[in-house]
Amino acid sequence: MMSPMRKTADAPGERHRFVVVASRLPVDRNEGPGGEADWRPSPGGLVSALEPVMREAGGVWIGWSGDTGPAPGPFRANGLDLVGMGLSADQFRDYYEGICNATLWPLYHDVIAPPEFHRRWWDAYVTVNRSFAQAAVIQAAPGATIWVHDYQLQLVPQMIREQRGDVRIGFFNHIPFPGYEIFAQLPWRRQVVNGLLGADLLGFQRRADATNFLRACRRAAGLATRGAAVRVGDREVQAEAFPISIDAEALEQIARRESAGKRAAEIRMALGEPDTVLLGIDRLDYTKGIPHRLHAYGELLREGRLGPRVVLVQVASPSRERVGAYRVLRDEVELAVSRINGEHAEVGSPPVHYLHQSYPRDEMAALYLAADVMLVTSLRDGMNLVAKEYVACRYDESGALVLSEFTGAADELNGAFLVNPHDIEGLKDAIARAATISPADARRRMRLMRRRVREHDVARWAASFLGTLARAPDSWPIPVP
Ligand code: G6P
């Protein structure tokens, strides 16, 4: 593997040759009854993707601790060197809830919810990005590799570059990058493009995202591009697709444990031993298309197309709960669930089991094992790791995946039933087909998807990104056409 992936012998307090800068730390603070705190591994897409890479590389991870208390600073937890950043209450409101999750998130997800633009929020974005960049500058050893992640930190690459010409900087965008007509709405579009272009290599989930970014470079910043390269003064920056994945092997090991099989059987028993279990697992987010899924399921029940013994388990883990669009969505989802249950339940057997909770990985693996059909109906999704997790857990090659074509995963998982979630009839047909699939067809499709997920796992993703970054020349003069 490349140099940044080699284990370093960094002692605490020393500078690191590999630095990850991400919105969140890979651990959550947990307070005991006596007020004593410890840090536990936290669930989530970004974390599950990067943690194995971090352990392998022996680097340092800079991220927000998750609350508005004082910054924890440098510490060690779960065998990782971490630097906990703080957010003030105002920054939590203006940066985290404001520009990150009420401006950039909806804008980058095709304005499914209307983005809000406030200058005060932007000022907070600049300030917080500067503090993350500063922490990276302090932690990075001479010649270090710094890997910055996601839409919350788009100014960090340029802010680091201004102070440290010696480091190599990569940036990976976990969410989609929108088409220019949408991106152009952002009053600070030029600053965002220039912030990102401080990196040597920019990674996106899909080729379409990279293409959208290259167009933004031309239109918003007037820069010349050639293929995947953008010319920035005497430098060239590459913008390419690196579809993220999961630690498929580790998750399959959890699913193969006897305890997981037992727990899956218990879940099916608790559900009343239905013939068919449908499963949705999402953060409660408007990008996930949960109302569309419920709409289709409600109609299928009314039409009796799934038979009488079918159950939908919908896990919707709490997320960004104080942001307006998320409150509206929660009400909408909970109303739809109640309506379906009100119309179709018998005493003791509701057709929707709705769980507004988060679960540890063991329980998630058991849920994946218990489900005949996995429903992923996102309206827009950078990748969707849940789809890949389901596939990784189905080691007996059974089960079917209904997958929105608006996810990054749809480019890779050819064995899925692809759907346009806005097309309720099409979605209903796909769910009905997936629920009645023959074992042979299921096996054929699942085998195809499992091969993809096992071969293209998170280690390969990281190696591919870091390998490309390591090969990036310090400056690449391109011939002007
Ligand atoms: C997505 C983003 C991550 C983010 C996560 C959870 O996966 O790509 O950057 O951390 O959602 O969102 P939150 O607002 O809780 O950090």
Q: Identify the H or E element spanning 62.
A: strand 60-64
The model's pTM is 0.94
Report how far apart, in Å, the C-alpha atoms of 148 and of each of 103, 154, 225, 327, 424 are: 20, 8, 22, 30, 38
* Entry field: residues in the chain: 481
Which one, of 155, 150, 152, 153, lies nearest residue 175 by Cα?
150
Contact 22, 149 (CB under 8 A): yes
Which residues, other chains included, contact 154 with Cβ-Cβ below 8 Å and sequence gap of 6+?
A: 129, 171, 192, 195, 196
| Sheet hosting strand 60-64, strand order edge to edge | 73-77, 80-85, 60-64, 16-24, 140-149, 168-172, 201-204, 235-241, 229-232, 225-226
Cβ atoms within 10 Å of 32's Cβ, excluding its own: 8
According to the model, what pLDDT value does residue 12 have? 52
Half-sphere exposure of 400 (CA within 13 A, CB side): 20
Residue among 20, 154, 281, 283 to mutate when testing ligand 1 (max atoms within 8 A of CB): 283
Ligand 1 close to Cβ of residue 45 (< 6 A): yes
Atom of ligand 1 nearest to the CA of 382: 8
Local structure of 232: helix, strand or coil = strand
Residue with tokens 């089991």: 353
As given in the structure block, the two tokens for residue 171 are 């940036």
Determine the 3-state secondary structure of 110 from DSSP: coil
- CB 206 near ligand 1, within 6 Å: no
Q: Is 368 helix (H, G, I), strand (E, B) or coil?
A: helix
From the CB of 24, is ligand 1 less than 6 Å away?
Answer: yes
Does the beta carbon of 386 sit less than 6 angstroms from any atom of ligand 1?
no
* Measured CA distances, 161 to 131, 164, 208 (Å): 14, 5, 27
Residue whose tokens read 């099916």: 268
CA of 46 to the centre of ligand 1 (A): 7
Distance (Å, whole) CA 96 – CA 68: 11
Pocket test for ligand 1, best of 24, 282, 384, 388 (most atoms within 8 A of CB): 24
Q: Is 179 in the pocket of ligand 1 (CB under 6 A)?
A: no
Are β-strands 80-85 and 140-149 bridged in parallel, bridged antiparallel, or unpaired? unpaired
pLDDT digits (tens, 9 = 90+) for 56-112: 776 999 999 999 989 999 999 888 899 999 999 999 999 999 999 999 999 999 999
Residue 383 CA to ligand 1 center (angstroms) comes to 12
| Cα 138 to Cα 447: distance, rounded to the nearest angstrom | 47
Residue 103 Cα, ligand 1 centroid: separation in angstroms?
Answer: 14
pLDDT given at position 49: 62
**Which are the contacts of 104, defined by CB distance < 8 A and separation ≥ 6?**
115, 151, 152, 186
Task: Kindly give the distance from the C-alpha atom of residue 100 to the centroid of ligand 1, in angstroms, as a whole number.
Answer: 10
Beta strands in 243-298 (DSSP E): 276-283
Tell me the CA distances in angstroms from 54 to 61, 173, 438, 457, 464, one per residue in order: 8, 18, 41, 15, 15
Closest residue by Cα to atom 8, ligand 1, is 174
CB distance 113 to ligand 1 below 6 Å = no
Our answer on whether the CB atom of 323 is closer than 6 Å to any ligand 1 atom is: no
Task: Please give the Cα distance from 285 to 278 (Å, whole number).
Answer: 19
- How many A from CA of 335 to the centre of ligand 1? 25
DSSP class of 15: -
Q: Which residues contact 275 (CB under 8 A, 6 or more apart)?
A: 307, 309, 310
> Dihedral, CA atoms, 260, 263, 269, 274, nearest 10 degrees?
-40
Task: Compute the half-sphere exposure of residue 49: CA atoms within 13 Å on the CB side of its CA.
Answer: 26
Can you read off the two tokens belonging to residue 12?
């605490």
pLDDT of residue 474: 64
pLDDT in tens, the chain (481 residues): 334 444 444 455 689 989 999 999 988 888 777 777 788 877 555 666 667 667 777 699 999 999 998 999 999 988 889 999 999 999 999 999 999 999 999 999 999 999 999 999 999 999 999 999 999 999 999 999 999 999 999 999 999 999 999 999 999 999 999 999 999 999 999 999 999 999 999 999 999 999 999 999 999 999 999 999 999 999 999 999 999 999 899 999 999 999 999 999 999 999 999 999 999 999 999 999 999 999 999 999 999 999 889 999 999 999 999 999 999 999 999 999 999 999 999 999 999 999 999 999 999 999 999 999 999 999 999 999 999 999 999 999 999 999 999 999 999 999 999 999 999 999 999 999 999 999 999 999 999 999 999 999 988 999 899 999 999 876 443 333 3
Q: Ligand 1 in contact with 25 (CB < 6 A)?
A: no
d(CA 49, CA 42): 12
User: Ligand 1, atom 6: nearest CA belongs to which residue?
Assistant: 44
Tell me how far CA of residue 442 lies from CA of 375, 433, 452, in angstroms: 15, 11, 16
> What is the sign of the dihedral through the CA atoms of 427, 361, 71 and 145?
negative
Contacts of residue 128, Cβ cutoff 8 Å, sequence gap at least 6? 87, 91, 95
DSSP-derived 3-state class of residue 370: helix
State which of 150, 171, 173 you would mutate to test the pocket of ligand 1, scoring each by most atoms of that ligand within 8 A of its C-beta.
150
Q: Which atom of ligand 1 is nearest to the CA of 152?
A: 9
**Residue 418 β-bridge partners:** 403
